[in-house]
C-alpha cells in the first residue's frame, strides 16, 4: 500500500492520521493484504463449507407446556403496571417515539 492509498482510506473512514501513523499503517496494511493473498491461494477443493469448526448441537431443553407464573406474581415487582380482569394485566413502560 502507498501513503496515498492510506490517505484515501483515512478520508473515507473520516480518520485524521498523523504522518507517523500513515507510515506505520502503510507497513501494517501491506502485511495484512499479503497474508490475505496467501490465504486466497490455499487449495480448498473437496473441503466442505462449515458454519462452525466443531459439531455444535442445541443444548436447550425440550419445549413442553408447563404452568406459567401467575400474572399477579409477574406484575408484583414491576415499577408500573396496569391490572384488569379481562386480560390479567400489563407492564407499563415509557413510550418510545422517534
- Residue 35 domain boundaries: 3-40
75 and 92 in contact (C-beta within 8 Å)? no
Q: List the CATH number of the domain containing 27.
A: 1.10.20
- On whether residue 10 sits in a domain, the answer given is yes
Count of domains for the chain = 1
Q: 4 pLDDT band (50/70/90 cuts)?
A: very high
- On whether residue 66 sits in a domain, the answer given is no
Q: What mean pLDDT value characterizes the chain?
A: 88
- On whether residue 79 sits in a domain, the answer given is no
C-alpha grid cell, residue 57? 448441537
Q: Is the pLDDT at 22 greater than 90, yes or no?
A: yes
- On whether residue 21 sits in a domain, the answer given is yes
CA distance 61 to 30: 49
- On whether residue 57 sits in a domain, the answer given is no
72-89 pLDDT tens trace: 888 888 888 887 777 678
Strands 81-84 and 88-91, how do they pair? Answer: antiparallel
pLDDT, position 5: 93
State pTM to two decimals: 0.46
- On whether residue 19 sits in a domain, the answer given is yes
- On whether residue 51 sits in a domain, the answer given is no
Amino acid at each position: 500500500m502507498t501513503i496515498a492509498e492510506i490517505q484515501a482510506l483515512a478520508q473515507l473512514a473520516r480518520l485524521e492520521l498523523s504522518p507517523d501513523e500513515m507510515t506505520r499503517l502503510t507497513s501494517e496494511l501491506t502485511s495484512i493484504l499479503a497474508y490475505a493473498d496467501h490465504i486466497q491461494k490455499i487449495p480448498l477443493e473437496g473441503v466442505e463449507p462449515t458454519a462452525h469448526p466443531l459439531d455444535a448441537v442445541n443444548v436447550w431443553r425440550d419445549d413442553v407446556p408447563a404452568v406459567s407464573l401467575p400474572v399477579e406474581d409477574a406484575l408484583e415487582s414491576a415499577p408500573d403496571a396496569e391490572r384488569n380482569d379481562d386480560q390479567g394485566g400489563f407492564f407499563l413502560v415509557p413510550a418510545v417515539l422517534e
